[in-house]
Structure 1
Amino acid sequence: MKRLAAPAALLTGALALAGCGGSAGSDDSGGSRAELSVSSSYMPQPVSPDMAAGFLTVVNKGGTADKLTSVTSTASGDVTMHSTMGGAMKEKTSFTVPAHGRLVFRSGGNHLMFDALKRKPKQGDTVTLKLTFAKSAPLTVEMPVKSATYNPSTGH
């Protein structure tokens, strides 16, 4: 009888641990998801009639990272995402938005390129963007068009 009690106790303990692991995973996924928002968006008034750059910051207050997988706009036929490292620009298919962090698109760094503009945006206009993520719901952003020489650190 003692020989059967030990394996039965081990099996019961293993089943209890497996059950705990599953429920803990379920609770964690709801409480640690990405919480995304956008700030500091702007487009310098483009010099070219068919191409423009855009900048913004995606903030993640959640406990899970996400990926920005695409950007679209009714103002443009194509919006691409680019990284800049050592002066070299490279098109990217996605960017990670870290948990409790931010993804920054700024002049001289990561940026958005609007190709095949339907019309040339002018200072004071607003361009609507849709940001699509791997896990989170899409975000719609109203991006103001600023002067061609706008610098966010000075506000001019």
Structure 2
Amino acid sequence: MRFAVAGAGAVLLLAGCSSSSDSAPALSVGAAYIPQPVSDMAAGFLTISNKGGTQDELTSVTSAAGPVTVHETSGGTMSEVTSLPVPAHGQLVFKSGGNHLMFEKLERKPRQGEKVTVTLHFAESKALEVEIPVESATYVPKTGN
């Protein structure tokens, strides 16, 4: 009988470990694109999904292509921000007319069909490297981003 109780305790302990890792941020990136720029500046759009039970925060974006800043759009006004939340069980969406990445002083203008590599840095999670495809200047994604 004592052995059965110890075994049940071990199962509960393992279940506890399992649920705590489920609460950590679990980030992925999709729907990424950059409209082909006409100058040395470009906007970047993507969606960061968090399937974990804890919020994370996008703290910066870096790229060999040039400086990248994070912009928030609220009430039609765009402003540079130092970070944006990635909600637990939610998404941080960068879309045309909304939040976006701003590539400033591009080393060279990327062309449609090429990819621009960025590294997304977070408060809690490991950095994510993302290859963002360059689309036509008039590209409209099917998802509406």
Q: Which TM-score tier does this pair reach, normalised by the shorter chain?
A: 0.7 to 0.9
The count of residues paired between Structure 1 and Structure 2 equals 129
Q: For residue 58 of structure 2, what is the aligned residue in structure 1?
A: 68
TM-score normalised to the size of structure 2? 0.84
Q: For residue 143 of structure 1, what is the aligned residue in structure 2?
A: 132
Amino acid paired to 2:53: G
SS in 1 for 2:21: helix
Correspondence for 1:42 among 33, 39, 49: 33
Deviation per CA, 1:56-115: give whole Å up to 9, x if none. 000001111100000011111x10000111211010100100000000000000000001
Correspondence for 1:117 among 106, 109, 117: 106
The unaligned stretches of length 5 or more in structure 2 are 1-12
The unaligned stretches of length 5 or more in structure 1 are 1-22
Deviation per CA, 1:115-152: give whole Å up to 9, x if none. 11000011011000100000000000000000000000
CA-atom RMSD in angstroms = 1.7
Larger gyration radius, structure 1 or structure 2: 1
Spell out structure 1 runs of 4+ moving beyond 2 A: 26-31
- Say whether residues 1:58 and 2:48 are aligned partners: yes
Q: For residue 6 of structure 1, what is the aligned residue in structure 2?
A: none
SS in 2 for 1:117: coil
SS in 2 for 1:30: helix
Paired residues for 1:1-20 under 5 Å: none
TM-score normalised to the size of structure 1? 0.78
Sequence identity, in percent? Answer: 64
Q: For residue 85 of structure 1, what is the aligned residue in structure 2?
A: 74
CA–CA separation in structure 2 for the residues paired with 1:40 and 1:72: 19
Structure number with higher helix proportion: 1
Amino acid paired to 2:24: R
- Say whether residues 1:31 and 2:40 are aligned partners: no
Q: Report the alpha carbon displacement of residue 29 of structure 1 after superposing the two structures with TM.
A: 4.1
